[in-house]
Amino acid sequence: MKPSSLRRPPASHSARVREKRVRRSREILHAARVAFRERGYHGTTLDDIAARLGVQKTALYHYFPDKETILYTCHWEALEEVEQILGQALQREASSAARLRYVIKEHVRVMTETLEGSPLTFETTALSPTHAAQVIQRRDRYENGVRALIEQGIAQGEFRRVNSKIAAFAIFGAINWIARWYRPEGSLHAEELGSQFADHLTGGLTCQ
Amino acid sequence: MKPSSLRRPPASHSARVREKRVRRSREILHAARVAFRERGYHGTTLDDIAARLGVQKTALYHYFPDKETILYTCHWEALEEVEQILGQALQREASSAARLRYVIKEHVRVMTETLEGSPLTFETTALSPTHAAQVIQRRDRYENGVRALIEQGIAQGEFRRVNSKIAAFAIFGAINWIARWYRPEGSLHAEELGSQFADHLTGGLTCQ
DNA sequence: TCAAAGATTGAACGCAGGGTAAAATTTCGG
DNA sequence: CCGAAATTTTACCCTGCGTTCAATCTTTGA
């Protein structure tokens, strides 16, 4: 389940060293996420990412074989994150409406809190064919999960008889778009954002 | 009101020539929109755009001074398009709910029909400072118009007391995201898309 | 304290891709 | 059908950026 293309640590001895390496990898990925979100993949240079860590770009090659793999890993971890949400929703909530609300709220949280979700908005066209296939497959699995949730809601009479594909796209669009405008320093608070999104995207705007 | 940075036609004589030039400019902009939408601004090369027109990249320089201006013009015309929608909504519809529905439906149409709306999803960070300022100002005007619509709806008791900024972002996100997945050849029809989006983003999913 | 492993750097390479200039071709108006 | 204007092409320049590699600095563990 781990991204196979992380540069393999050459049979290191101590766990401490390995740990440090992992920490550094995370730092790189975080810097990359910030940069990619602001400038896009092609608009971001390895210097950009390295500069955020106060290091030369060549240092990055100790952790990732190339730029594209950094992008891929960002994608992969984001998918890991949101997939968990879906599982939790099914476990913790009973009604379809409550489950969908949970997914939206948590997805928004992942989006705003650590930026972990923003890779979902990166263009998959920049990935290598192999990586793209993996990412798209996994992303589809998540999307299908949410669609299934909507369809259950319809079957049980909780939701109107909508096209679940379109409904899911509307929800993901609203959430993913957050990466384009949300800034932690801004006036909008993540808390409010999550719950209002959940309300709006399930219950709508109009008064009942 | 026209983008001032189109390469100025050298005092041409016939109107016919001028017309042809405009037509060609439009073709270039269309090819650029398609390419930008697929690969992003930085991921698109001038060769890409030119190839779609069966021409060498240098031919483009007869119509636009540089790549960035092509992007800017895409943005500018998209804004022109959606601003009209807002005006029409105020004119044709009476209630806030109906107006908002109209805006969403038409915005979706512009998004799917000619791709005219997709530039709104291009990263403004790639624009030059001057161009970025213009685009952002105009985009804000549109967004504020929609926010005002929502606030009116709240004031008149049609909408719930939401944060209009967040609500507007949710709506724009859902719509703008269309550029990421919609393909004219696909199974989803634009008609259905527009009306379901309008329903979903105003009335929600849950049964009343 | 020291040797080995790990992390980072600096210099350099190669090439993709934006941009320029002048020549070649096509279109237009009379 | 001709000359001028408009358009496109051919050839080229050059910077930016991904990547490689050997050298250097740092950390680790005994």
Render pLDDT for A15-52 as a digit per residue (tens, 0 to 9): 777 888 999 999 999 999 999 999 999 999 999 999 99
CA distance A55 to B101: 51
Q: Look up residue B193 and give its two tokens.
A: 């898309």
Q: What is the pLDDT of residue A147?
A: 97
Q: What is the pLDDT of residue A1?
A: 39
Å between B43 CA and C16 C1'?
A: 12
Mean pLDDT value of segment B79-96: 96
User: What domains can be seen in chain A, in order of their start residue?
Assistant: 10-64 (1.10.10.60), 67-203 (1.10.357.10)
Low-confidence winner among A18-27, A92-101, B13-22, B162-171 (lowest mean pLDDT): B13-22
CA distance B35 to B56: 16
CA distance B170 to B172: 6
Query: How would residue B1 be classed by pLDDT, with cut points 50, 70 and 90?
Result: very low
Question: Rounded to 10 degrees, what is the CA torsion of B78, B82, B83, B85?
Answer: 150
Check B181 against A169: CB less than 8 A apart: yes
Query: How would residue B4 be classed by pLDDT, with cut points 50, 70 and 90?
Result: very low
pLDDT at B9 over 80: no
Per the listing, tokens 């969403």 go with B104
Contacts of B175 in chain A (CB under 8 A): 173
Check A205 against B181: CB less than 8 A apart: no
Low-confidence winner among B10-24, B35-49, B137-151, B176-190 (lowest mean pLDDT): B10-24
The residues that bridge with B159 in the sheet, in sequence order, are: A206
Å between B141 CA and D23 C1'?
A: 57
The single-letter DSSP state of residue B203 is: H
Q: What is the pLDDT of residue B134?
A: 97
The residues that bridge with B206 in the sheet, in sequence order, are: A159
Nearest to A43 among B126, B174, B207 (CB): B126
Q: What is the pLDDT of residue B204?
A: 77
CA distance A162 to A140: 19
| Residues of chain A falling short of pLDDT 70 | 1-13, 208
The answer to whether residues B164 and A173 touch, using CB atoms and an 8 Å cutoff, is no
Per the listing, tokens 């009479």 go with A157
Check B203 against A200: CB less than 8 A apart: no
Which bases of chain C are under 7 A from a protein CB atom?
5-11, 16-22, 27-29
Å between A82 CA and D28 C1'?
A: 38
pLDDT at B175 over 90: yes
Task: Give just the sign of the alpha carbon dihedral A39, A43, A46, A47.
Answer: negative
User: What residue has its CA nearest to the C1' of D6?
Assistant: B17
The single-letter DSSP state of residue B6 is: S
Check A197 against B160: CB less than 8 A apart: no
Biggest distance spanned by C-alpha atoms of chain A: 64
Nearest to B42 among A42, A175, A176 (CB): A42
Q: What is the pLDDT of residue B17?
A: 75
